[in-house]
Amino acid sequence: MIKLSRVSKLDGISSWSLTARATCPGSIDPKTKALVPACDGCYAAENRGNYRWPNVRQRREDNGKDWKRSEWVADMIAELDNHRYFRWFDSGDVYHPRLAEKILEVCKATPWVKHWLPTRSHKIPRISKVLKRIAKLQNVSVRYSSDAIDGSYTKGLHGSTIIPFASFKIKDVHTCHAYQTDSHKCNGCRTCWDRDTKVVAYVAHGRAMTNLIAKGT
């Protein structure tokens, strides 16, 4: 059964998500074996914010089993019939090549939908191959996430980074509109879905991320 979430920050745009960290192979630094800074302060980790509620956690756990059904692609396509914008993964990530292939099928079959897919799984070769194919679709914005929380990123690779506060400006990088307003919502902004916007900087939010930045990590 398809279980989508509606994200209030995104003006109610729906998302399909998984359990954070457990499905995030790109969250671990291969050298230190520790969480990269951006994932260490993740807002979607268990026991943080709305993600601590049992019903929220259960939905993501159910999705982790559901995508393996043979009917999942057809069901997702049908679910997106009346959608115009869609986000993959407000928590979790593409953790398996077969899931990536299925997402590719869904995106190809729903050209009326603009898809936004943030990910760190470009670090995983078998998954990266499929992500590159997804990124070629004109209705999909695939954004490889930087691991940093100081605004740094690799030009030509990363499509997003995290900055410590809203007034922190980076040349040629679009700062997320939501955290420059009192509402902390998109309010009609759809830059994340815009393939022509190469890099978006998201303002650090959540107590865990704020504490991490305060420590100077």
Asked if residue 129 has pLDDT above 80, the reply is yes
Would you say 188 and 171 are in contact if contact means Cβ atoms under 8 Å apart? no
**Among 49, 38, 92, CA closest to 202:** 38
The better pLDDT of the pair 68, 205 is held by 68
Reported as a single tens digit per residue, the pLDDT across 62-74 is 999 999 999 999 9
Structural domain of 97: 5-214
pLDDT of residue 182: 77
Tell me how far apart the alpha carbons of residues 77 and 168 are, in angstroms, rounded to a whole number: 39
Reported as a single tens digit per residue, the pLDDT across 165-185 is 989 999 999 999 888 777 888
Query: How many structural domains comprise the chain?
Result: 1
Asked if residue 51 has pLDDT above 80, the reply is no
Residue with tokens 């100081």: 150
pTM for the model stands at: 0.94
Number of H helices, E strands in the chain: 6, 8
pLDDT of residue 131: 98
pLDDT of residue 147: 97
Q: Would you say the C-alpha torsion 87, 138, 156, 185 has a positive or negative sign?
A: negative
User: pLDDT band at 214, cuts 50/70/90?
Assistant: confident
Tell me how far apart the alpha carbons of residues 138 and 37 are, in angstroms, rounded to a whole number: 31
- Average pLDDT of the residues of the chain: 93
Identity at 34, one-letter amino acid code: A
Helix (H, G, I), strand (E, B) or coil at 176: coil
pLDDT of residue 46: 67
